Amino acid sequence: MLNRIISCLYPVGTLIALVVMWHSAVKIFRVPPYLLPLPGDVIRRIGEDFPFLLHHSWITIYITLGGFLLSIIIGVPLAIVLVASRILERAVMPWLVLSQTFPKVALAPLIVVWFGLGLGPKLVIAFLVAFFPVLISTIVGLRSIEHEMIELARSVRANTLQTFWHFWLPMALPNIFAGMKVSIAFSVVGAVIAEWVGANAGLGYLLLQANANLDTTLLFSVLIMLLIIGVVLYYAVEFIERLVTRYVCRT
């Protein structure tokens, strides 16, 4: 318990140091508020506009989780299929890698043209940003199993499902969840990108509005809300990882 408290003090201390440096830099160099506001002004703005920021945050969270869940629903089964079929992997994998070279910001307007201005294109954009880490990490995890483990499964006459559940999956879980942690962070980025194109709500939309109005205090407030969302969702995935790993190991 004491070690956990001490480990939490390190990032808190780093945050305090950064805020102090931020405040000192603004005061020493007399930076205008429209370029870099004081930390206290940003915190005050968050407090004043918290219901407003929270409303837009829920919209961004909804898109983030939608893209993240789509990346899992599609990425994990696709990785299993690619690992199971060497021919299919050679045919499909190069194109999947090539698709990652296209900047998603450039693709976003085209996706809106194809799918319209509703929720669908925003989920597609968030999915495209978050999909690849899940796919690659799952493939790496499934290939990490040693040949001796497969021989052990065969020796106890385990069928295909039993072999996957008791041998492949436990070995692959650390890699799969590592990909999910990266994916949830990318999903937040994908949601913001999606809201930059054809949205009238969400934190990404607020970023554009604050930038257009040179409202730097609101800009930093939105960035802090995005930071909080990213950190909370990351540790939520880490908590789920512990529960799932514990359950799979027991079964």
How many Å separate Cα 159 from the centre of its chain?
35
In the prediction, which pLDDT does 245 show? 83
- Tokens 């089964």, residue? 77
Asked whether residue 106 falls in the same domain as residue 19, the answer is: no
Contact 223, 206 (CB under 8 A): no
Q: Going residue by residue through the chain (251 aa), what tens digit of pLDDT does each one get?
A: 666 777 777 888 888 899 999 989 898 988 888 889 999 999 999 999 999 999 999 999 999 999 999 999 999 999 999 988 889 989 989 888 888 887 778 788 888 878 877 888 899 999 999 999 999 999 999 888 777 667 666 666 667 677 777 777 788 899 999 999 999 999 999 999 999 887 788 999 999 999 989 899 999 999 999 999 999 999 999 999 999 888 776 66
In the prediction, which pLDDT does 166 show? 72
Asked whether residue 41 falls in the same domain as residue 22, the answer is: no
In the prediction, which pLDDT does 40 show? 93
Asked whether residue 23 falls in the same domain as residue 39, the answer is: no
Asked whether residue 79 falls in the same domain as residue 49, the answer is: yes
Asked whether residue 53 falls in the same domain as residue 20, the answer is: no
Range of the domain at 17: 1-31
In the prediction, which pLDDT does 182 show? 95
Asked whether residue 10 falls in the same domain as residue 39, the answer is: no
Domain count, the chain: 2
Q: What's the rounded Cα separation, in Å, for the pair 27 and 18?
A: 14
Asked whether residue 166 falls in the same domain as residue 122, the answer is: yes
Q: What's the rounded Cα separation, in Å, for the pair 73 and 77?
A: 7
- pTM check: above 0.85: yes
Asked whether residue 26 falls in the same domain as residue 57, the answer is: no
Asked whether residue 27 falls in the same domain as residue 43, the answer is: no
Q: Could you give the C-alpha distances from 13 to 16, 17, 22, 30, in angstroms and in order?
A: 5, 6, 14, 25
CATH number for the domain harbouring residue 65: 1.10.3720.10
